[in-house]
Structure 1
Amino acid sequence: MSIQDNLTINEKKVLLALEELGSAAPERLEEKSGMQVDAAMQAAFMLEEKGLVTVSEKVLERYSLTKEGKEYTKSGLPERQIIDTLKAPTSVEKLRNSFSPQMVGIATGWLVKKGWAKIENGVMVPSGKAHAGKDEEVLAAFTDKAKSLEDLAADEGTVKDLLKRKLVIKHEEKFRTVSITDAGNALAVQGLVLEEEITQLTSDLLKSGSWKGKKFRPYRLDITPKSLYGAKIHPYRRLIEQMRQIFLEMGFTEIKGGIIQSSFWNFDALFQPQDHPARDMQDTFHLGSTCQLPTEYPEKIAAMHEHGGDIDSCGWGGIWDRELAGRNVLRTHTTAVTVKYLADNPEPPVKAFCIDRAYRRETIDPTHTPEFEQLEGVVMDKDMSFADLLGLLAEFYHRMGFEEIRFRPGYFPYTEPSVEPEVYVDGLGWVELGGAGVFRKEVTEPLGIKEPVLAWGLGVSRLAMLKLGLKDLRLLYQSDIDWLRKSEVCRI
């Protein structure tokens, strides 16, 4: 097939136009070829791939005045307005009465920077020299039309200052030029035949037979088509929904709670001592507000903390501080939500979970962020045992696609016995994904709960990193459209 046979009718029209023009801007090419400018440029780019034309692009920066810049062009810059009236040392307070405080605030720094005046003990002292600056000359050179640096005879530093002061705004204008090459010119001279071509074979063409004897546009099989990305749920959101669905299918009820929690529900109700390191400023976001404590629990919580209440416990000793318990914090875990739900529903059976965000004063790095998602759950019923907890967690992780699961003994202030679930990941080995255990009686007794409570808290973001093959946790929260398009929804 000859080069001419491989050209579309639009490409031929562009070549014939450029044979006469040599080179042209898109608008001139549109006029000469009789095509829409978009179609003409599309044909030009196709011809450029074939080496028959070249498309050059030039970007010009132009500047125009903002509304504020136009006002100052007429009335003068703030520092000019003030220095022109400043005949003798004058207090800054008096100037604020004569001009607006905002104008004096803007002008003061520039008066000192330009050497037109100085400030001594709250008094502005003129230097006696206030020659017109380059910025004033540039502003005076503006008209209603946008101008380039050459038109304004301005240096980049002066224009940069005017941009910072928001007196001018920069525009970028792209100019394209299409030029015919020697190869394109030789082909055009040979003579190009403009004939109708069929770009798409339709049922009407087949039925009527009108396709016979017509030219078909050839297909290019050597060109990689543009990537298409279908709409999909954010991979992290999809995993969260998968976890939610697993627990709903296992018969759990989803619960929600406030981001702001009292220290009472976030710490004290969970039998965390009031001098526990986790309650310090380096771990918790403490708020300036307080709240009323519930009426039915504080006395029992206080007794449990101080001497172990009415059960076989020593408590933590000391005096339990009601004021400290009433201080609000950003919840450090969603356990604050589940323990309050248990207090409101002390009668078995209870199967509830919460997937929501928690907050801690963490330094941001590839594996830590100050806010993160946590999956929290509880089961409360007669004859519940530690073995039931291990079986429940194993079932969840199996449904998430992990084949090998083990449990390592752990310690948490409000569960005993406690474990840390781990899953095996190729290339990483055993990875810990949260904590779990049976609530201590120091937690359940003050709330009126008589049956065993199985509880767990799982790190959602860490699990997501494993499923999505990420090494940096921060990617889950960044608006990187390229990663969102190309990332796998889930790794099995």
Structure 2
Amino acid sequence: MVSDYKLTPNEKNVLIALDELRTADPGELARKAGMKVETAMQAAFLLDENGLARVDEAVTETYELTDEGKRYADEGLPERQIIDALSEPTSMDELKEMFPPPVVGIATGWLRRKGWASIEKGMVVPTGNAELSDDEKVLGRFGDMARTIGELEAGPGLIKDILKRKLITKNEDKCRLVSITSQGLEVVAAGIKVEEEVAQISSEMLKSGQWKDMKFRSYNIQTPPRHIYGAKVHPYQRLIDQMRRIFLDMGFTEIKGEIVQSSFWNFDSLFQPQDHPAREMQDTFHLSSRSELPLEYKDKVCAMHEHGGDIDSTGWGGNWSEEIACKDVLRTHTTALTIKYLSDNPEPPVKAFSIDRAYRRETIDPTHTPEFEQLEGVVMDKDMSFANLLGCLKEFYHRMGFEDVRFRPGYFPYTEPSVEPEVYVDGLGWVELGGAGVFRKEVTEPLGIKYPVLAWGLGVSRLAMLKLGLKDLRLLYQSDIDWLRKSPVCQL
């Protein structure tokens, strides 16, 4: 019968010990079996799986007084201290002179709740009925020991109230008991022989021939092995790398830039008016530092904002402020990088993109975070048209695996015409994934750019949510090891 269970020596020793003890805690069982507690419990759990033993776990809840609870157990609760001191209606000001303000503040509500006093026109009026309350009785039952709820003779509601007042703390003590089953008793009665077993053969055993007299531990080849998760790149990073590879394969140059940008490059160079709502504190992280304005562009940008410069534009009117343009911000979009790159490379052809983080004062929820990745790109060359822009974006989304792509008219301060690309997702319908357009001449002219510029800013995180089947943007940034292990590897 023992052979039917394929017991290890440790299991056999524990089963023999349980035959004598019948029921034991881990420490007692380990001492009886002559092994460490951890080893004994490991064997006990294996016996439990085979039905030869049973491991029961009980949780005992106990309560003990906090320092504040001990003080009130000795001195009386705040409401008891005050009601014992009152013989007639007394003003709140007088009470504050008689007792520390915290005691009066705590006691007032409880005096009314317990019906010991009422508050009338700033006066505390005793009702004459201040018998010992249930919470006082409970505090008196503690002494210097931890107590169970049964020993305190208190209901759950009363204990909950005292816990809220932080007069007691709750402790949970876990206790395990191991007992032998009827099947286990039968196995012991049939006879158990404890023999040393060898798990792995050694070269010395082979040379000496000792292996012939050894008893080898049997293995169950039907037991499924532990799943091994190989190292892999984070799913979000894999998608970012895939997007990067697509644009590199399309002949684009990747650019990088500083997180901290002046308002000039982040807003003004993009013909965004200085009183635009996006510059307000709820959208932008403003910094105390300042940056120097580029001398070769500031006057032309100023003229473009105030009256439209030398082109057929009216500008925004008013006075353009260098003081505002100098202020540093955390970049609210990566367009600040591409416009700066264009100003340094005004001659065609230019094909550049950036995948990097932008920062905005957003309330964190399933679809918004204060920092997020943005995919920015520009194409500048002779005879570039709006159709070229749509074709470029459609090609990108097709390579990302979206078959159906369409474009909806949109509005952005620095592009005209402007569109919002959308892809079709089963179960969701058409999903908008960013904005695109052709830079207005108010943007390109002050920087010396003479040819059309196609530009786009696409939401990387939203695209990643669609590809990974997520409904909460925050999951992209949380270290959920189980999700990371089980997420499939994207084939680039």
Q: TM-score range by the shorter chain?
A: 0.7 to 0.9
Change (3 A) 1:268 1:111: farther
Shift of 1:83: 2.9
| Whole-angstrom distance in 1 between the partners of 2:238 and 2:323 | 39
Which residue is 1:385 aligned to?
Answer: 384
Report deviation, 1:299.
Answer: 6.9
Residue identity matched to 1:195: E
Per the alignment, residue 283 of structure 2 pairs with 285
Match of 2:259 in 1: 257
Q: Is contact 1:384-1:454 (8 Å) kept?
A: no
Aligned-partner SS, 1:254: coil
Distance 1:289 1:62 in 2: 52
Contact 1:468 1:490 in 2 (8 A): no
Structure 1 residue 347: Cα displacement = 5.5
Cα gap change, 1:169/1:409 in structure 2, threshold over 3 Å: closer, same or farther? closer
After TM superposition, the structure 1 = structure 2 runs for residues 21-420 of structure 1, keeping only pairs within 5 Å, are 21-229=21-229, 233-240=233-240, 243=243, 250-258=252-260, 269-272=269-272, 279=278, 285=283, 303-305=303-305, 307-315=307-315, 319=318, 333-335=332-334, 337-338=336-337, 341=340, 345=344, 351=352, 353-359=354-360, 364=365, 368-369=367-368, 371=370, 373-379=372-378, 383=382, 385-386=384-385, 401-402=400-401, 408=407, 410-411=409-410, 412-420=412-420
Letter of the 1:253 partner, please give it: I
- Aligned partners of 2:334 and 2:374 also within 8 Å: no
Counterpart amino acid of 1:168? I
Distance 2:286 2:361 in 1: 16
Q: Go from structure 1 to structure 2 and tell me whether the alpha carbon gap of 1:353 and 1:54 turns closer, same or farther (over 3 Å shift).
A: same
1:242–1:65 Cα change, 3 Å: farther
The 3-state SS of whatever aligns with 1:109 is helix
| Distance in 2 of aligned mates of 1:123 and 1:425 | 68
Asked if the contact 1:138/1:153 (under 8 Å) is kept, the reply is: yes
| Shift in Å, 1:127 | 2.8
Contact 1:285 1:360 in 2 (8 A): yes
Post-superposition CA distance 1:176-203 (Å, at most 9, x none): 2222122211110121101100123344
The alignment's C-alpha RMSD in Å is 4.2
> Percent identity over the alignment?
53
Residue 15 (structure 2) aligns with: 15
Structure 1 position 146, deviation (Å) = 2.2
SS in 2 for 1:211: helix
Following TM superposition, where does structure 1 have runs of at least 4 consecutive aligned residues deviating by more than 6 angstroms? 245-249, 286-299, 323-332, 424-430
Matched positions, count: 484
Change in 2 beyond 3 A, CA 1:209/1:85: farther
Contact 2:285–2:359 under 8 Å retained in 1: no
Q: TM-score, normalised by structure 2?
A: 0.80
Conservation of the 8 A alpha-carbon contact between 2:52 and 2:184? yes
Q: Against the structure 1 CA distance between its residues 39 and 291, is the aligned structure 2 distance closer, same or farther, given a 3 Å change threshold?
A: closer
SS across alignment from 2:213? coil
Answer whether contact 2:17 2:32 (CA < 8 A) is retained: yes
Between stretches 152-161 and 233-242, larger displacement belongs to: 233-242
| Worse-superposed segment, 67-76 or 267-276 | 267-276
Which amino acid in the other structure matches residue 353 of structure 1?
S
Q: 1:417 to 1:405 in 2, by over 3 A?
A: farther
| 8 Å CA contact retained: 2:418, 2:437 | yes
- Determine the C-alpha separation between the residues in 1 that align with 2:265 and 2:55: 68
Distance 2:104 2:335 in 1: 53
Q: What is the CA-CA distance between 1:26 and the residue it aligns to? A: 1.7
Structure 1 gaps, min length 5:
none
After superposition, the C-alpha distances for 1:269-317 in whole angstroms (9 at most, x for unaligned) are 43346787x7599x9537899998976677755653564332122445x
TM-score in terms of structure 1 length: 0.80
**Deviations 1:71-129, CA, capped at 9 Å, x for gaps:** 32233323233333334433334434443333333222222222223333333333333
Question: Whole-Å Cα distance in 1 between the matches of residues 402 and 375 of structure 2?
Answer: 22
* CA drift at 1:378: 4.7
Assess, with a 3 A threshold, how the Cα gap between structure 1 residues 202 and 153 changes in structure 2: closer, same or farther: farther
Counterpart Cα distance in 2 of 1:106 and 1:266: 54
Q: CA deviation at 1:11?
A: 1.0
Q: Hey, what's the Cα distance between the residues in 2 that align with 1:306 and 1:327?
A: 17
* Distance 1:132-1:5 versus aligned 2 partners, 3 A rule: closer
Q: CA deviation at 1:9?
A: 0.7
Answer whether contact 2:405 2:423 (CA < 8 A) is retained: yes
